[in-house]
A and B are shown apart, each in its own frame.
Chain A
Amino acid sequence: EPEVTQTPSHQVTQMGQEVILRCVPISNHLYFYWYRQILGQKVEFLVSFYNNEISEKSEIFDDQFSVERPDGSNFTLKIRSTKLEDSAMYFCASSEVFSTDTQYFGPGTRLTVL
């Protein structure tokens, strides 16, 4: 069964460093998303991406964040200068043809900022 994959599963970085989180969405899906979950809290929407551009973003998704689809399979989230409060689980998700379809989540990347 097709699934969303994410790498790495766990990333540890120093405050101020740049990190890139990688995702491979389900192959025939056209809509891609990033969510984050701070430990013990609810899942929060960051950004959605369609047709090589951002279609929606939350107030959390400020200038330190960026997304990219560098090739036909990968979808990345870059955090330019990490802060302690960026420590969270980051989930990539994808949905099929229409954005109203079910979003399938990857296993997540746990980011720890020291």
Chain B
Amino acid sequence: AQKITQTQPGMFVQEKEAVTLDCTYDTSDPSYGLFWYKQPSSGEMIFLIYQGSYDQQNATEGRYSLNFQKARKSANLVISASQLGDSAMYFCAMREAQGGSEKLVFGKGTKLTVNP
């Protein structure tokens, strides 16, 4: 079974509008972390936002916020006021604490295109 599922291969949004990128996860570990990374066409992986499984509030970082619904096992990324520079691949990732694992498990990604 997939640990991280990103069901949207591609998304389009108009500049200045908000967009939600979906991510669902599968784990039986009560302690885990969820991450979003941005990968522009240049290839680098840029950390955007982190949500811990025990965090009471949804994480926010500037225009990025994470809509964390623990019971539904979803961690959707919300980008407000989209900019042309937001066009990129976006990856959701999870790290499970069980067994002291340090690895991140990534989803397949969503390609976001921001239209002027």
A40 to chain B: closest CB distance in Å?
9
Known: A89-B43, A107-B43. A43 touches B102 (CB 8 A): no
A75 in the interface (beta carbon within 8 A): no
Closest to B37 in A: A105
Q: Is A56 interfacial (CB-CB < 8 Å)?
A: yes
Of A33, A42, A107, the contact of B102 (CB 8 Å cutoff): A33
Query: Chain B, interface size: which category?
Result: 20 to 34
Smallest CB separation, A3 vs chain B (Å): 10
Q: When A31-B102, A103-B104 are in contact, do A43 and B45 touch as well, CB less than 8 Å?
A: yes
- Answer yes or no: B50 CB below 8 A from chain A CBs: yes
A56 proximity list for chain B (CB < 8 A): 101-103
CB-defined interface of A36-64 with B at 8 Å, one 1/0 digit per residue?
00000111110010000001101000000
Kindly supply a per-residue 1/0 record for chain A positions 86-114, scoring 1 wherever the CB is within 8 Å of any chain B CB and 0 otherwise. Answer: 00010101010001101111111010000
Q: Which residues of B contact A58 (CB under 8 A)?
A: 103
Option from B35, B100, B106 in Cβ contact (under 8 Å) with A44: B106
Q: Is the CB of B106 within 8 A of A42?
A: yes
Tally of contacts, chain A with chain B, CB under 8 A: 56
Residue total for A at the interface (Cβ-Cβ under 8 A): 26
Note all chain A residues with C-beta closer than 8 A to B101. Answer: 56
Q: Are the C-beta atoms of A42 and B109 separated by less than 8 Å?
A: yes
Q: Are B45 and A105 in contact (CB under 8 A)?
A: yes
Which residues of B line the A interface, CB within 8 A? 33, 35, 37, 42-47, 50, 91, 93, 95, 97, 100-109
- Residues of chain A having any CB pair with chain B under 8 Å: 31, 33, 35, 41-45, 48, 55-56, 58, 89, 91, 93, 95, 99-100, 102-108, 110
Q: Jot down 25 A-B pairs with beta carbons below 8 A, ordered by A.
A: A42-B106, A42-B109, A43-B45, A43-B93, A43-B104, A43-B106, A45-B103, A45-B105, A48-B102, A55-B102, A56-B103, A89-B43, A91-B45, A93-B45, A95-B102, A99-B100, A100-B33, A100-B97, A102-B35, A102-B47, A102-B50, A103-B35, A107-B43, A108-B43, A110-B43
